[in-house]
Amino acid sequence: MQEILNKLIPNVMSDLPKLYDSIIQTFLMLFQSGVISFFIGGFFGILLVVTKKYGILENKIIYEILSKVINFFRAIPFIILLAMLVPLTRFIMGTAIGVRGAIIPLIFGTVPFFARQMESALSEVDSGLIEAAQSMGSSPIAIIFRVYLKESVAPIARGTTITAISLISLTAMAGAVGAGGLGTYAIQSGYYRNKLDIIYVSVILLVILVGIIQAIGNFIVKKATH
């Protein structure tokens, strides 16, 4: 088997530790930025739903400001966002390169997307359930947790899956500027040195990762639906 791999992907096999490090870096970026983005984006998504017109905490000013800020960051191409956030990244993380340097841009690139996914998921909740909870004297916090979030597990899982897959693409794109992970591995070790097997292996691994996340998401959605 090893002989076959040596013939098919000689450049990859000649430096496997570099491939392993790239995989670990991709997982670190995905996990760290993903967890933070989930909570911040989820909070903003909830805020959008409850402060919109006829929401349980209707507030036009908060809704309009938050909505416009989210739209602003969603409109910026990620590669430009990476460059734009260099000063902030250096201030917070102490560096603008490597895995640490990619976390802040990844969060800024993911939070607005997930906030809209969250808003869409929560908007699917039957308004009758919310009105019933209000008529029973439930507080806004209770309605958020016992109605909005409880009744939206499946759509939230679906939105989270879509966001995670999008985040994988962003980590690969961040690799173009030396953020580390499979993106950097494919660009610097593969493309710049004309080693196509490295590019192909990187793509295959990213596709497998996307498939795993999609399968997990589908499983959660199926369980929540039943």
Give residue 173's pLDDT. 85
Residue written as token pair 């039957």: 126
- Expressed as residue numbers, the domain containing 127 is 2-225
Give residue 184's pLDDT. 87
Distances (CA, A) of 118 to 11, 46, 94: 43, 7, 31
Give residue 179's pLDDT. 79
Please report, for the domain that includes residue 45, its CATH number: 1.10.3720.10
> What's the rounded Cα separation, in Å, for the pair 100 and 32?
10
pTM equals 0.91
Give residue 37's pLDDT. 96
Give residue 193's pLDDT. 87
Give residue 104's pLDDT. 93
Give residue 226's pLDDT. 60
Long-range contacts of 72-75 (CB under 8 A, 24+ apart): 73/108, 73/109, 73/111, 73/112, 74/112, 74/113, 74/116
Pull the structure tokens for residue 212.
């795993």
**How many folded domains does the chain comprise?**
1
Residue in 167, 182, 81, 172 with CA at minimum distance from that of residue 117? 167
| Residue ranges of the chain whose pLDDT lies below 50 | none
61-90 tens-digit pLDDT: 999 999 999 999 999 999 899 889 989 989
* CB atoms closer than 10 angstroms to residue 219: 11
